[in-house]
């Protein structure tokens, strides 16, 4: 399946210097750097106080959108869907960033590539909305319960990982956490009745059943039998 790669470079100018003449100079400087990569200026327009320029290669498979903002920020958004020798890779974008910094002598920041159109979700956020990228390569399971969306995604580094409402919950690699919760090695569960409140990921149940308990009861609002079977 083809993927589109998106990446961004930001240039921070003094907001008092973005005159029409300065903007024209910035566009020309960016154009000169992109021309060596066969990316040419195609069209440009103004939106209110912003100026937007579109650059692309001949067939449009690699593009760069330049946009100026009245507070001094100039953004470059790169996209390509080339297979094989991609127009924009992280090393190539780092070269562009360095050239831009040398040319304009301002702060230039590169944001790494984001892969779009993947058959498997790769990007999630933390509770405070920071982006996380994973190496998931397979959708093991996905379903909607009455309470939440449930996904199990496989990762070469994490094993199977449980995602609830697009928030990372638990992975097979978190076995030490599960052992810590059950005080593994300190408490004997042999022949005992055990109650688990929550634990819908099934990790505690899975580990407790190895300890020969008499009976285990688990109470969870959104548990599906096949989630436990697929997770481990």
pLDDT digits (tens, 9 = 90+) for 109-163: 999 999 999 999 999 998 899 999 999 999 999 988 888 888 999 999 999 999 9
Same domain assignment for residues 127 and 64: no
Q: pLDDT value at position 197?
A: 84
Same domain assignment for residues 141 and 111: no
Please state whether the predicted TM-score (pTM) of the whole model is above 0.85.
no
The DSSP bridge partners found for residue 220 are none
3-state secondary structure of 147: coil
> Is residue 226 in some structural domain?
no
Same domain assignment for residues 9 and 48: yes
Same domain assignment for residues 189 and 99: no
Q: Which CATH number belongs to the domain containing residue 82 in this structure?
A: 3.30.160.110
Same domain assignment for residues 132 and 109: no
Q: Which of 57, 89, 116 finishes a domain?
A: 116
pLDDT digits (tens, 9 = 90+) for 166-223: 988 888 888 888 889 888 889 998 989 988 887 766 778 888 889 898 998 888 766 5
Q: Which of 68, 87, 116 finishes a domain?
A: 116
Same domain assignment for residues 48 and 86: yes
pLDDT digits (tens, 9 = 90+) for 80-119: 987 767 788 899 999 999 999 999 999 999 999 999 999 9
Q: Which of 116, 147, 166 finishes a domain?
A: 116
Q: Which residues contact 135 (CB under 8 A, 6 or more apart)?
A: 122, 155, 156, 157, 158
Same domain assignment for residues 182 and 101: no
Same domain assignment for residues 103 and 8: yes
> Is residue 195 in some structural domain?
yes
> Is residue 232 in some structural domain?
no
> Is residue 225 in some structural domain?
no
The DSSP bridge partners found for residue 115 are 5
**Of the candidates 112, 92, 158, the residue with the CA atom closest to the CA atom of residue 7:** 112
Q: Which domain holds residue 196?
A: 123-219
Number of domains in the chain: 2
Q: Which CATH number belongs to the domain containing residue 177 in this structure?
A: 2.30.140.10
Same domain assignment for residues 92 and 9: yes
Query: What is the Cα–Cα distance from 162 to 43, expressed in whole angstroms?
Result: 46
> Is residue 231 in some structural domain?
no
């Amino acid at each position: 399946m083809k993927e589109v790669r998106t990446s961004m470079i930001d240039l921070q100018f003094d907001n008092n210097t973005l005159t029409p003449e300065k903007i024209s100079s910035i566009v020309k400087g960016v154009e000169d750097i992109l021309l060596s990569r066969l990316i040419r200026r195609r069209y440009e327009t103004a939106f209110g106080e912003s100026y937007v320029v579109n650059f692309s290669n001949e067939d449009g498979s690699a593009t760069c959108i330049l946009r100026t903002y009245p507070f001094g920020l100039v953004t470059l958004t790169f996209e390509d869907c080339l297979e094989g020798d991609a127009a924009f890779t992280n090393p190539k974008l780092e070269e562009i960033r360095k050239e831009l910094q040398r040319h304009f002598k301002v702060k230039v920041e590169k944001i790494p590539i984001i892969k779009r159109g993947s058959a498997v979700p790769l990007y999630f956020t933390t509770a405070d909305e920071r982006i996380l990228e994973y190496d998931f390569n397979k959708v093991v399971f996905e379903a909607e319960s009455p309470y939440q969306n449930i996904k199990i995604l496989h990762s070469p580094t994490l094993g199977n990982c449980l995602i609830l409402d697009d928030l990372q919950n638990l992975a097979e690699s978190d076995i030490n956490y599960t052992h810590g919760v059950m005080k593994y090695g300190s408490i004997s569960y042999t022949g005992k009745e055990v109650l688990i409140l929550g634990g819908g990921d099934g990790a505690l149940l899975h580990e407790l059943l190895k300890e020969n308990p008499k009976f285990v009861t688990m109470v969870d609002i959104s548990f599906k039998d096949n989630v436990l079977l697929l997770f481990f």
